[in-house]
Amino acid sequence: MTGISRSSLFGTLFARGAADASDAAWLQAMLDTEAALARAVERAGRAPPGSGAAVTAAASADFFDNGTLGEAAAATGNPVPALVRALTAQLPEPVAGAAAAVHQGATSQDIIDTAAMLIARQALDAILADLSVAAGSCAAHAAEQARTVMSGRTLLQQAVPVTFGLVAAGWLTAIDESRQNLDRVRSTRLAIQFGGAAGTLASLGDAGPRVAALLGEELGLAVPTLPWHTNRLRIVDVAAALASTCAALGKIARDVTLLAQTEVAELHEAAAAGRGASSAMPHKQNPVAAITILACTKQAPGLQATLTSAAEQEHQRAAGAWHSEWQPFSDLLTLTSSASSWSAELLTGLQVDPTRMRANLEATSGLPMAEHIATLLAPVLGRLQAHDLISRASARATADNISVTDAICADETSAAKLADAGVTRADIESAVRPESYLGATAEFIRRALSAHTAREDALSG
C-alpha cells in the first residue's frame, strides 16, 4: 500500500493534509474491518459471546509489524492472509472460540475494499474541512474586492475589465461545487464490500445478508445492493470527485502564479521569514503554496486514469486490475488532501494589491475598453464602421504610444462623423472608464455569495 508518506523527504509538500492513507492507516483500517466483522458474526449468532470484543481488543495496529506483513504478502498477492493469521494468534486464550469470529465469511478483497472505504471517508472529511476554510476565504475576497477593478485576461492578453471580487467569486463557486460533489460521494458511494469468495457469501449460508447488514452498521457504511468485487464504479466515483477537486484548486493556483509574477504583481502570498526563498537568488519570494498546489494537482489526472483503466475487471474477481488500484487510490487521496490544505493557507493569507491592478489596467491607455467604445459608436456609425474605426484607432494608439481616445480624436474623418452625431470627447472618455463596463459583475458576485451562504446555512442546520 506504500504511497506518499508524511515522514518522507517530500511529505511536507505532498502529504501535508490531514488525510491519512499511509501503511499504518491501511493496516488499522483492515483491522477495524476484521474487528467489525467479528462483532457482526457474533451478533448474528455465528460466534461465541465475547468473541467480537476479544477480536476488537486485539485489532490494534500497534500489535502488528507492517514489514513482516508486507513480506508475507509476496506469497499471497496481498497482506490479508498473513494479517488474519497474525490477528488470530493475538487473541487471548481465555476467550474460547474467539478465533472462529476472525474473517468469517470474508475474502481478502472484502477486507481491503472495505478498508479503502474507511480510508476514503476519513480523507474526504479532512479534504472537506480544508475546502470549507478555502471557500470562506474566497467569499471574503469576493465581498471585499467586489469593486476592485482589474484587467480581465483572455489568451493571456488584456481583455475587458473585471473585478477581483468576480475572480474570487469564480474560485468560490468552483470550490463549492467540488465540496458538493465530494459530499455526494461521501454520503452515497462509500459502502462495505462483503461477498466472500465469489460474491455469494455461500460460506455463511442463509446468514450472509444479515451479517453484511450488521457489518455495515458496525462500520457506519452503507450496505450495497450487491457485492461490488468487479464493479469498480465506487472507486471510479471517488477518484473522479478527487480529480475534479484538484482541477478546481489547480486553476486557482495557476491564477495566483500568473498574477504574482514580478511584471504583474497584483497578488502576493503571505510573507514569512524564509518563505519562498531561492537557493541561488536571495531576492526572490516564490509563491510556494500555489506552486505546491499545482505540483499536487497535476498528478491527479494520471492517477484517475489509472483507476478508471483498472475498472475493467474480469468475471467475479480480478487478476491484477484490483491490485493495481491500491497505490494510486492512496496517492490521489493524499495529494488532494495536500492541495486542499495548501489552498486553505494560500487563500487565507492572500494579499491583494488594488493599486497595482489599476495601474496595469491603465497601462494600455484605454485599449481594453475598445469594445465598449465601439458599442457606443455603433448606433451612430453602424456596427461594422464603428468596429473598423476603433480597430484603426487601437493600432494607432499602440504605434504612437497615445491613448485610444486621442487616437480616435486625431482621425479627422472619424472626428467629423462623431461631431456630426453629437458624440463628444467627454463621451468617449466616459466610455473608457473601466467602471463603466463591468456588465453583470455585481450580480454574478451576489449570486456566488448567496449560493455559498445558502450552502453554509444548510450545513450548519
Query: Within 10 A of 420 (CB to CB), how many other CB atoms are there?
Result: 9
Q: What is the pLDDT of residues 45-54, one digit of tens each?
A: 999 999 999 9
Count H helices and E strands in the chain, helices first: 19, 4
| Residue 148 reports pLDDT greater than 50 | yes
Q: What is the mean pLDDT of residues 60-80?
A: 96
DSSP 64-125: S-HHHHHHHHHHHSSSHHHHHHHHHHHS-TTSTTGGGGTTTT--HHHHHHHHHHHHHHHHHH
Q: What is the pLDDT of residues 222-250, one digit of tens each?
A: 999 999 999 999 999 999 999 999 999 99
Q: Which of 56, 26, 30 is nearest to 41 (CA)?
A: 56
Residue 219 is which amino acid?
A: L
CA-to-CA separations, 78 to 33, 104, 320, in angstroms, rounded? 16, 18, 11
CA distance 255 to 270: 16
Q: What's the grid cell of residue 434?
A: 473601466
Predicted pLDDT of residue 281: 45
Q: Is 450 a catalytic residue?
A: no
Any idea of the CA torsion for 178, 184, 185, 190, to the nearest 10 degrees?
150
Task: Classify domain 11-355 at the CATH topology level.
Answer: Fumarase C; Chain A, domain 2 (1.20.200)
Q: What is the mean pLDDT of residues 30-58?
A: 97
Please report which confidence band the pLDDT of residue 174 belongs to, taking 50, 70 and 90 as the band edges: very high
Angle, CA of 40, 42 and 44, to the nearest 5°: 70
Which letter, b or e, does each residue of 298-323 get, where b requires 16 or more Cβ atoms within 10 Å of its Cβ?
ebbeebbebbeebbebeeebbeeebe
Q: What is the mean pLDDT of residues 116-126?
A: 98
Predicted pLDDT of residue 419: 81
Please report which confidence band the pLDDT of residue 372 belongs to, taking 50, 70 and 90 as the band edges: confident
CA distance 216 to 120: 15
| Residue 426 reports pLDDT greater than 50 | yes
Determine whether 182 is exposed, middle or buried from the number of CB atoms within 10 Å of its CB (0-12, 13-18, 19+): buried
Average pLDDT, the chain: 92
| Residue 284 reports pLDDT greater than 80 | no
Q: What is the mean pLDDT of residues 56-83?
A: 96
Predicted pLDDT of residue 282: 46
Predicted pLDDT of residue 95: 65
Q: What is the mean pLDDT of residues 142-148?
A: 98
Is 181 within 8 Å of 241 (Cβ atoms)? yes
Residue span(s) of the chain under CATH 1.20.200.10 come to: 11-355
Catalytic residue among 8, 187, 203, 278: 278
Q: Report the percentage of the chain scoring pLDDT > 90.
A: 75
Residue span(s) of the chain under CATH 1.10.40.30 come to: 364-437
Distance of CA 438 to the CA centre of its chain: 30
Determine whether 288 is exposed, middle or buried from the number of CB atoms within 10 Å of its CB (0-12, 13-18, 19+): middle
**DSSP bridge pairs for 163:** 149
pTM: 0.93
Predicted pLDDT of residue 2: 57
Local structure of residue 62 (DSSP, 8 states): G
Query: Within 10 A of 266 (CB to CB), how many other CB atoms are there?
Result: 25
Q: What is the mean pLDDT of residues 322-333?
A: 98
Predicted pLDDT of residue 283: 53
Predicted pLDDT of residue 277: 46
Q: What is the mean pLDDT of residues 370-397?
A: 85
Local structure of residue 440 (DSSP, 8 states): T
Predicted pLDDT of residue 272: 67
Phi, psi of 247 (to 5 degrees): -60, -45
Can you tell me whether residue 449 is helix, strand or coil?
helix
Predicted pLDDT of residue 287: 92
- Of the given ranges (101-110, 118-127, 195-204, 359-368), which has the lowest mean pLDDT? 359-368
Angle, CA of 206, 316 and 240, to the nearest 5°: 110
Q: What's the grid cell of residue 116?
A: 479503502
- Of the given ranges (15-19, 123-127, 165-169), which has the lowest mean pLDDT? 15-19
Q: Which of 84, 112, 146 is nearest to 445 (CA)?
A: 146
Q: What is the mean pLDDT of residues 21-48?
A: 97
Q: What's the grid cell of residue 319?
A: 487478476
| Residue 198 reports pLDDT greater than 50 | yes
- Of the given ranges (59-63, 90-94, 258-262, 315-319), which has the lowest mean pLDDT? 90-94
Is 423 within 8 Å of 364 (Cβ atoms)? no
Identify the CATH class of 364-437.
mainly alpha
Predicted pLDDT of residue 224: 98
Local structure of residue 299 (DSSP, 8 states): T
Predicted pLDDT of residue 459: 78
| Residue 402 reports pLDDT greater than 60 | yes
Q: Which of 402, 358, 115, 338 is nearest to 235 (CA)?
A: 115
Predicted pLDDT of residue 280: 44
Q: What is the mean pLDDT of residues 358-363?
A: 93
Catalytic residue among 43, 210, 275, 317: 317
Q: What's the grid cell of residue 114?
A: 472495505
Is 30 within 8 Å of 107 (Cβ atoms)? no
CA distance 386 to 384: 5
Predicted pLDDT of residue 173: 98
Q: What's the grid cell of residue 344?
A: 486553505
Distance of CA 433 to the CA centre of its chain: 38
Is 300 within 8 Å of 246 (Cβ atoms)? yes
Q: Is 317 a catalytic residue?
A: yes
Is 22 within 8 Å of 123 (Cβ atoms)? no
| Residue 274 reports pLDDT greater than 70 | no
Q: What's the grid cell of residue 417?
A: 462623423
CA distance 130 to 342: 9
